[in-house]
Amino acid sequence: MNHYLIGFAINSLFRRGAKSFFTLFIFTALIFLLSSILFISNSIKTELFITLKSLPQITVQKIQAGRHKNIELKRVDELLKLHGVQSAVPRVWGYYYFEKAGVNFSVVGIDSFDKQYKKSFERVVQNVDFDKLQNSMVVGVGVNEALRQNYYKEYFNFIKPDGELKKVKIAGVFKSETSLESNDIILMPKNIAYEIFGMSPDKATDIVLSVANPREIPTISKKIKELYPDTRVITNSDLRVSYQNIFDYKSGLFLALFVVSVFTFFMIVYDKASGLSSEEKREIGILKALGWKIDDVLKAKFYEAFVVSFISFTAGIILALLFVYTLQAPVLKDIFIGYSRLKPVFELPFILDFQTLFLLFFLTIPLYIAAIIIPSWRVASMSADEVMR
């Protein structure tokens, strides 16, 4: 490594200050946009599929006139008789619209004696005795934030179907592995959930089943449909396909941004590779006349390209990390998750995928360096007087 050549390369960049700064700015902006898109995509995809692992193997819903209706609790015993079914848990849950914040909360009724279908719920039940809670609830992080912003710090007033208010105390905050799962959740005793939703105690929202052998899920689903034709049977594989379809659709928007960014980058590379400016050619001719070898010229150009590309890459990645994980990617995140405020805002989890970084590195820096070296080699291979002419 020749320190004098590095110093000469840096001085050359400063001599072409406006052009060097413009290239540095555009390069950094492209790296920033590309890496931000990939960081957001990786974070949301990780959240989705971690959440999928916690969902029930089979969910049984009653359908009437094409709509979801409450299901009778007596069906639980019949479902438990099916071969291969380990457990059948009736769920009491629903959405509660908080008009002041403009968001929906997911209210879930918990019974300590029931087998919990989520590990996160089991941990809450172990730490909180829902049977002893008197008009109390445990809320998710997003719910807690939304309530505090509207001055509900110790309790919340639910409006029941008959128009009366139900005052419920906030006993704690619920956290899970993913912010998607715990962000909008409210956990409370089942009797309070029945009262808020105006449901009959002999019914449930749906029934979730766990199966000993996951390979038997399609067979058991078919048996349930034959036993109760008025039900809709949803398996975790159905939910996975649904989530994947949503993710693929939203990824298309990101792919469009990604393609535009890559196309812009390759336009810059093409412009660089198509030839040097007259000023740069004259500079190489002067250096050749002063006795510089082709290797010296190429090394100087390599250092110029590497300094610009490396500074741009590093700055773009750092800015993208701050933008996505500190500022939570305003605008770009909304393109993916939608602009609806019906759910409390959740934070993107920090997912640093080194494969993504290596992909961006090898997709940008070597190409940019090659786009500088190749035309420089063509000019440096000519004689000094030919270049000067």
**Residue 138 and residue 169: Cα distance in Å, rounded?**
9
pLDDT at 336: 65
Q: Are strands 136-140 and 165-174 parallel, antiparallel or unpaired?
A: parallel
pLDDT at 250: 54
| Same structural domain, 254 and 319 | yes
pLDDT over threshold 90, residue 231 = yes
Last residue of a domain, one of 152, 176, 204: 204
Alpha-helix runs per DSSP H in 274-348: 278-289, 294-321, 332-337
Give a yes or no: residue 295 inside a domain: yes
Which residue, chain included where needed, has tokens 């070296």?
373
**Among residues 58, 69, 57, which one has the least CA distance to residue 230?**
69
Dihedral class, residue 104 (left if φ above 0, else alpha if ψ from -120 to 50, else beta):
beta
Give a yes or no: residue 57 inside a domain: no
Span between the terminal Cα atoms of the chain, in Å:
32
Dihedral class, residue 126 (left if φ above 0, else alpha if ψ from -120 to 50, else beta):
alpha
| Contact predicate 322/123, CB 8 Å | no
The domain total for the chain is: 2
Phi, psi dihedral angles at 108 (to 5 degrees)? -125, 125
Average pLDDT over residues 100-125: 84
Give a yes or no: residue 265 inside a domain: yes
Give a yes or no: residue 226 inside a domain: no
| Contact predicate 66/186, CB 8 Å | no
| Same structural domain, 361 and 253 | yes
pLDDT over threshold 70, residue 246 = no
**Among residues 210, 233, 222, which one has the least CA distance to residue 60?**
233
Give a yes or no: residue 224 inside a domain: no
Q: What is the pLDDT of residues 189-225, one digit of tens each?
A: 999 999 999 999 999 999 999 998 989 999 999 999 9
Give a yes or no: residue 209 inside a domain: no
| Same structural domain, 163 and 258 | no
pLDDT at 340: 46
Average pLDDT over residues 235-262: 68
Global confidence as pTM = 0.70
Q: What's the length of the chain?
A: 389
Residue ranges making up the domain that contains 360: 3-51+243-388
136 strand-pairing partners: 169
Give the count of beta carbons closer than 10 Å to the beta carbon of residue 344: 23
| Same structural domain, 360 and 266 | yes
Q: What is the pLDDT of residues 2-46, one digit of tens each?
A: 777 788 888 888 887 788 888 888 889 888 988 888 888 888 778
52 burial via Cβ count (<10 Å: 0-12, 13-18, 19+): middle
